[in-house]
Structure formats: structure tokens, C-alpha cells
Amino acid sequence: MITGDRKDRNSFPWQALAVAGLVLAGAGSVDAQGAVDPNVVPRATALVREGRRMDATELLGHYLATAPGDGRAWFHLGRLYLLGSREWHVTGHSGEPSGLLLLDLSAVALDQALQLNIDSSIVFRGMVDMDRDLIALERDGWTAVRDRRPAMERFRMPDYLLELGVNLLGSCPANGVIVTGSDLETVAVWYASVERGVRKDVLPLVPKLYATDSLYRNQMAAAFDVDRSWPVQRALTKVAERRPLCLTPFAERAAVPLPEWQPMRLVLAGGAHVALTDDVLTVTSLLRELRNQGSVWSEGARAIYAQAAKENILLCRGIVAVLGEPLPPACGQ
């Protein structure tokens, strides 16, 4: 998951929070725009590298109050608010602003970036809704989040990412636990599961959250019926005695130290009751996106399929072949 520095929360730049209100009140109109300064985002990025994320947030906030036409700056501000929300989890779910408020501000900033055609905002905007769900999960548990009706105002992820999530879930045996690795895998699986209601029998797990977020660990341990004091490796080893475990292509095997894994479509499967599902995998939406114009995210999706082919060579003559070059070395190109 995305990580950030751990500066004292009392130093959070409240001036930057006011930017969202300004935009909602109409300050982002063309008439209100000042000149775009291409040096602001590099300066903010440099501050983040120095561990001064709060200063970077304040810099972007002040700048965007006068130059709301800078899409890149909106994207970076939204990303920093998302970082702040995730830090709120790690530091004990306390202090102000709350994680939910930071997610609301991140959504405002990323929506502005999307309106200004900053493609990089697409997946991050989806992460905001996913992280809102995670807060609900920490309060109400996995079953409540899985079974509720999705809110109408939620952001719609690109079809090829929903397709990826459906394919990953469809690769996991019945009643399995799917352990995700990369941010792209996690958000794709989450949206397909929670938004589309695909494979409600499969439970998604993010090992890094289990290790660092006490409320997430408590709720997921309850869903697994294991001791919440156990580390993720011990918890999943116990779960594997009762149900299948699945690793997405970029998931770390160290999180689930099973002696044997077998390739099953896009995942590696192990544990109890491993059996092939009858779900059909498709890459129609991704192929359409790649042939149209593509993006860093569609290329990231293709990389996930290529990574899966390193374990399952049957994919080389199927999905990976359809998607075209570059083929992974495992396909014997």
C-alpha cells in the first residue's frame, strides 16, 4: 500500500484543508485561475522526499487556491491527503483530521484532476472509495461491507480494471481467501467484489494492512475465526487448514508460508479444498483499451497477466497471447 512519513498530526496544515471548500464554492472557475507554475509540483515532491509531507500539502494548498487549473498539482494534493488517511490508520485511528475527512478532501482534489484530464488520478480516485470501505469494515466487519448496496455516488473504475478484478476472483477456488499484492491488484479485486458483488464467497485480504492496522486485523481475524493476536503468517496457515488460499501474481509468498502451491488460472492456489472453478476469464475490455490509446494503468493490468504467466504457462497460449507483446520470458519468446 501507499506509505508516507509520520510527522506530528498536530502540525497538519489546516490552511490546505480550506482549498476543498474553495473549489466547492466555485473558486475553481476559469476567471479565478492564476498562471500555472510548473515548478510547484517538483518542489512539493522534493519536500515529500525530505520527509516534509505536511509542508508539501500546505504548499500545494496555497498554490491551488490561486491557480486551480493545474491538474498535476490537484493530483499530487489528492495523493497526499490519501497518504494522510492511511497514516491515520497506522497511528491508532485517532487525532484530527480524521481518516474519513482526509479521504473526502482527497476525493475533491482527485475529481478536479480528473476534470483536468490527469489520467493518473483514475486509480487513486478508486482507492479513495476503497479506503472508505475499509473504514466501514473496521467498524462493521467484512460481511456487512460485502452485503451492503453500493452507494450511487461512488466513482466508477475503468472497465478493464473491473475485468481484472473479476478474473482474479474467478481464478480462486470456492470459499477461498485471495491475498493481494500490488495496489492495482488490490483495488481491482476490491471493486469487483464489493461493487459488482462478484464471488462473494471469496474473501480479499491485504497482508500489509493485517500487519499494521489493528482494527483491520481484528475484523479479519474474526472473519477467519482465528486469534487476533496472531501474525498474518500464522493466521493464514490456520485458515489454510479449512479453506483454499490464493495469491495474486504480485502477492508475496512469504505472507502465506505453505509448502505447496499450484497455478490456477491467474493465481497460485493452496490449502484445503482446492478445485478449479467454472468461471470464464475475459480480457475484452483491456484489449479494447490497449488498442485505443492505453495508459500507465492498462499497461499495469497487462503486466499482472504477464506475471501470472510466469507461474502458469497455459496463459501464454491464451490471455497473454491475445494481449500481444511484450511476452514474458516464461512464454519462451
pLDDT tens-digit readout, 299-312: 999 999 999 999 99
Q: Which residues pair with 269 in a beta bridge?
A: 246, 262
DSSP designation for 155: P
pLDDT of residue 219: 97
Strand (E) or helix (H) holding 204: strand 203-205
Residue type, 109: A
User: Distance (Å, rounded) from C-alpha 25 to C-alpha 3?
Assistant: 31
What does the angle CA 299 – CA 300 – CA 306 come to, to the nearest 5 degrees?
Answer: 85
Distances in Å between the alpha carbon of 99 and those of 39, 91, 104, 220, 292?
A: 29, 11, 9, 20, 37
Model confidence over 12-70: pLDDT tens digits? Answer: 554 455 454 444 444 444 445 678 899 999 999 999 999 999 899 999 988 998 899 99
pLDDT of 3 over the 50 cut: no
By DSSP bridging, strand 262-264 and strand 267-271 are antiparallel
Percent of the chain predicted with pLDDT > 70: 88
User: What kind and span of H or E run contains 178?
Assistant: strand 177-179
Spatial contact of 127 and 187, defined as CB atoms under 8 Å apart:
yes
Global pTM? Answer: 0.90
> What's the rounded Cα separation, in Å, for the pair 221 and 102?
27
